[in-house]
Structure 1
Amino acid sequence: MTAWLVLIEDHLHSNTTMDKDLLFKYNTPGPRYTSYPTVPYWQKTPPGEGKWKELVHDAFTFSNLAEGISLYVHLPFCESLCTYCGCNTRITINHAVENKYIDAVLKEWEMYFSVFGENTPVIRELHLGGGTPTFFSPKNLTRLIEGLLKKAIVHPKASFSFEAHPGNTTDEHLVALFNVGFRRISIGVQDFNPLVLAVINRHQTYEQVRHLTEKAREIGYTSVNYDIVYGLPEQRLCSMMQTMMRVIQLKPDRIAFYSYAHIPWIKPGQRNFTELDLPDADKKMAIYETGRNALELAGYQDIGMDHFALETDELYIAQQESRLHRNFMGYTDTRTQLLIGLGASSISDSWWGYVQNEKKVEDYYKRIAANELPITKGHLLSREDLILRKHILNLMTRFETSWHSPSETSEEVYQALDRLSELEADELIEIEPFLLRVTEKGKAFVRNICMAFDARLWADLPQTNLFSQTI
């Protein structure tokens, strides 16, 4: 432990004081850009079901034959509320809800087959998110996946992944999901400090995380991800160092190192603690720097916003081969034209448009029972949206973007370049004719760089709290 602390301190001191100044300078509220436009800037009136089906049909026709399609299934149930969480959840200990919810998801999936026509969907990517997917029993998860795949083809290079809570994911869960094709697991670690976990009402232990990691690898899972959150209540620099030491010892293939998003105006559960319980700006920056430096010293590569991977991991390999992608499921080494979201609050993406399902489980059930796609909001992308989306995606996945033809540029692109002059002066980016490149120093600020391209944000700057801090 002492040797590692010395290494981290040396690594920190090797960075200039300007780096810390930049962290403070650019630590402003900003989107995470799992989409462009971001959800708060979607059109007030969603596309109708007929229009959405047209977009799905067009995207399916192109995507299914080329690389397949992606599925995201939102499983919102949790037995207890983790008070830091910003996800759409339903808290219950009544596991009788499982069957009704699975029936609704499978019926929603069946509705899309009328859009697919006679062509069989090829599943390239499938992700279970939540909530707590492992709230559902192994038997019911098997029923869900087998139902989704019954009339589909699994792509030879398919990627199936799920989010796992260490406190309730059993060996039986791991075996059942492995048997239906899952090879990737994302474990919600957040922090190993018992005090921090108690404050955020997260019931799990280091031993559970270690067992889950080792058992998954023993069964045959090929990729293990850890989610780590910095800026949590009662979090300290020393505890983050201890957490990172344990993380490095277990050596997950990839790590998502997120900034805690304090949004109590949206998530009332976060009112169980106050801003006084959170590390202040100086301490949060120190926690971030320490965690990031520990990962870099351990051989993890920065592959995009908040994400790190070993050089043997598919995310890093995909970035090196310029095929890394980012969507509503986060970073992925698979890119498809069509992503269909199933379940309450899920978001679908046809590239030319987005829709989101009803957030409340009861409203979702009503729409499904009425044989309606449960769309509650959405957005049809304009030509300018599509151009800016491409540049933001390039920056998020390649740390550079270029514009060589009329289809890649617009007045908004040149306005974005004007906004980037200060970041260029701070050596966070390099601008050449028709090319913008993020420097090594600028990688930590990629959200800020993307914000310059967010024409809708600049046209209507938020007057109230809307986004979390960028760092």
Structure 2
Amino acid sequence: MNHELLQKYNVPGPRYTSYPTVPYWQGTPPSPERWGELVNDTFSVTNQKQGISLYVHLPFCESLCTYCGCNTRITVNHKVERPYLEAVLKEWELYKKVLGAEKPIIRELHLGGGTPTFFSPENLHEMITRLLEGCEVHAQAEFSFEAHPGNTTDEHLQALYEVGFRRVSIGVQDFNPVVLEIINRHQTYDQVKHLTEKAREIGYTSVNYDVVYGLPQQKVCSMIQTIFKVIQLRPDRIAFYSYAHVPWIKPGQRRFTEEDLPDSTKKLAIYETCRNALELAGYQDLGMDHFALKTDGLYRAAAEKRLHRNFMGYTDTQTSLLIGLGASAISDAWWGYAQNEKGVEAYYKRLSNDELPFFRGHVSSREDLILSRHIQRLMCNFETTWRQESEKCKALYEGLNRLEEMEADGLVEIEPYHLRITEKGRSFVRNVCMAFDARLWENAPQTNLFSQTV
């Protein structure tokens, strides 16, 4: 990556897990009735063809990882498990009433957090068993969960395997003890190794590692050692993503300062050195943050241009309806979005009144839907087309005009009815998408909202 281009385009920008992005959802959220209509409309059209996705947010952690940008609740009191489990199940029952008599076909299920394995194996097993009651599991269903190496046991792996989980995402972040100390992450290489080997022994078919570059105290020499250890353990896929420093949103990140972070030049050197090592080891660069072996489903989806991106990140499963359960979880009904109450107590209170517990949302306009399709294609396939009238709008052409400088820099190629991001431009995919973000251009943020794009 050219350093001059990095300096030029490394600006704050969204990660585009939705369009519009959450800060630009319009004013008053949809009424419960309107949201129910959006969910039911998408469900009735797509359930039989695609199935639906479920995301369950389990926010509890025993300690705060100071780099974390997720919605968490820190506690060592495991008595919180049962009330939260029952609340999630009640929310799902409310949604099933919205869906009507047709049996939901579960195509994708993901447990995120927080730390899902904060919950006991028995409670997780019970929660999933009860979630799936009255549902049909798709023949090609993908069930996955996020695992903290410091507290995920063999019993966790076995219990979740028994209810259909075949993918596990292990939070490695870094193996350097100096970095782990400053981000308050307590785990060891041996724990990661054991977790990986045990998952495969039980029968899990895909192991992902989350590895973060740009963390405090990281250096090229230490990070390449981490990557070599990762390569030795041979996960099927790797999310190698940039640390998002947003202390104005996550005060825990104030444990360290910008002076502790590698500057843009060092961060770029870390990324490129590690990326080269991964590619030499047989990992394919799928684009923004993700690498996979050719034997993994994520690689095949990328090669066949059927990658999908939603609030769970990249997936090889495409569904139009994603229902998020739990505090802060976000649902995507294609025609609009809704986010649940972030506070656990507020979430409980709404459910006690038999209400779907969302506190904000957005109903998409025709322009939103068109731009969302183009941004989705760019984020997943690095290209998009607009021959049909249903894929054209004024904002699309305004976005193309904003790309003139990026075209001159060799980052994109623009032809009649076709836009392609070049190999040189792939690291700047978020910047390309920003050109089409009409809501961002209409109301440029006056304060920090997003992390840096590179």
**Given the two structures, how large is their TM-score scaled by the length of structure 1?**
0.95
CA positional deviation for 1:20: 2.5
What CA distance in whole angstroms lies between the structure 2 residues aligned with 1:282 and 1:177?
42
Show the counterpart of 1:297: 280
CA positional deviation for 1:304: 2.9
Show the counterpart of 2:346: 363
The AA in structure 2 aligned to 1:325 is H
What CA distance in whole angstroms lies between the structure 2 residues aligned with 1:202 and 1:249?
22
Q: In the alignment, is residue 165 of structure 1 matched against residue 140 of structure 2?
A: no
What CA distance in whole angstroms lies between the structure 2 residues aligned with 1:218 and 1:23?
43
Q: In the alignment, is residue 77 of structure 1 matched against residue 79 of structure 2?
A: no
Secondary structure of the structure 1 residue equivalent to 2:145: strand
CA positional deviation for 1:21: 2.1
**Is the 1:167–1:203 contact (alpha carbons within 8 Å) kept by the matching residues of 2?**
yes
The AA in structure 1 aligned to 2:108 is E
Unaligned runs of 5+ in 2: none
Show the counterpart of 1:453: 436
Greater shift, 30-39 or 249-258, is seen at 249-258
How large is the Cα RMSD of the aligned pairs? 0.8
2:100 is matched with which residue: 117, 123, 142? Answer: 117
The AA in structure 1 aligned to 2:144 is S
Show the counterpart of 1:418: 401
2:173 is matched with which residue: 166, 190, 195? Answer: 190
Unaligned runs of 5+ in 1: 1-17
1:234 is matched with which residue: 207, 217, 221? Answer: 217
* Aligned pairs (5 A) from 1:35-184: 35-184=18-167
The AA in structure 1 aligned to 2:78 is H
Greater shift, 442-451 or 169-178, is seen at 442-451
What CA distance in whole angstroms lies between the structure 2 residues aligned with 1:68 and 1:353?
18
What CA distance in whole angstroms lies between the structure 2 residues aligned with 1:302 and 1:22?
20
What CA distance in whole angstroms lies between the structure 1 residues aligned with 2:72 and 2:169?
18
Count matched residues.
454
CA positional deviation for 1:188: 0.4
What CA distance in whole angstroms lies between the structure 2 residues aligned with 1:262 and 1:367?
32
User: Deviations along 1:22-67, whole A, 9 cap, x unmatched?
Assistant: 2222111110000000000001211011000000110110121111
User: Deviations along 1:396-418, whole A, 9 cap, x unmatched?
Assistant: 11110000011101111111111
* Aligned pairs (5 A) from 1:437-452: 437-452=420-435
**Is the 1:345–1:357 contact (alpha carbons within 8 Å) kept by the matching residues of 2?**
yes
**Is the 1:62–1:337 contact (alpha carbons within 8 Å) kept by the matching residues of 2?**
no
The AA in structure 2 aligned to 1:179 is E
Q: In the alignment, is residue 428 of structure 1 matched against residue 414 of structure 2?
A: no
CA positional deviation for 1:316: 1.1
Show the counterpart of 1:13: none
User: Deviations along 1:81-103, whole A, 9 cap, x unmatched?
Assistant: 00000000000000000000000
Secondary structure of the structure 1 residue equivalent to 2:2: helix
Show the counterpart of 2:268: 285
Secondary structure of the structure 2 residue equivalent to 1:57: helix
CA positional deviation for 1:19: 2.0
What CA distance in whole angstroms lies between the structure 2 residues aligned with 1:426 and 1:375?
43
1:311 is matched with which residue: 286, 294, 297? Answer: 294
The AA in structure 2 aligned to 1:38 is T
CA positional deviation for 1:428: 1.1
Secondary structure of the structure 1 residue equivalent to 2:286: strand
Secondary structure of the structure 2 residue equivalent to 1:96: helix
What CA distance in whole angstroms lies between the structure 2 residues aligned with 1:301 and 1:450?
23
Secondary structure of the structure 2 residue equivalent to 1:233: coil
What CA distance in whole angstroms lies between the structure 1 residues aligned with 2:300 and 2:381?
12
The AA in structure 2 aligned to 1:275 is E
Show the counterpart of 2:197: 214
Secondary structure of the structure 1 residue equivalent to 2:78: coil
CA positional deviation for 1:112: 1.2
CA positional deviation for 1:215: 0.7
CA positional deviation for 1:426: 1.1
Secondary structure of the structure 1 residue equivalent to 2:268: helix
Identical residues among aligned pairs (%): 72
**Is the 2:122–2:159 contact (alpha carbons within 8 Å) kept by the matching residues of 1?**
yes
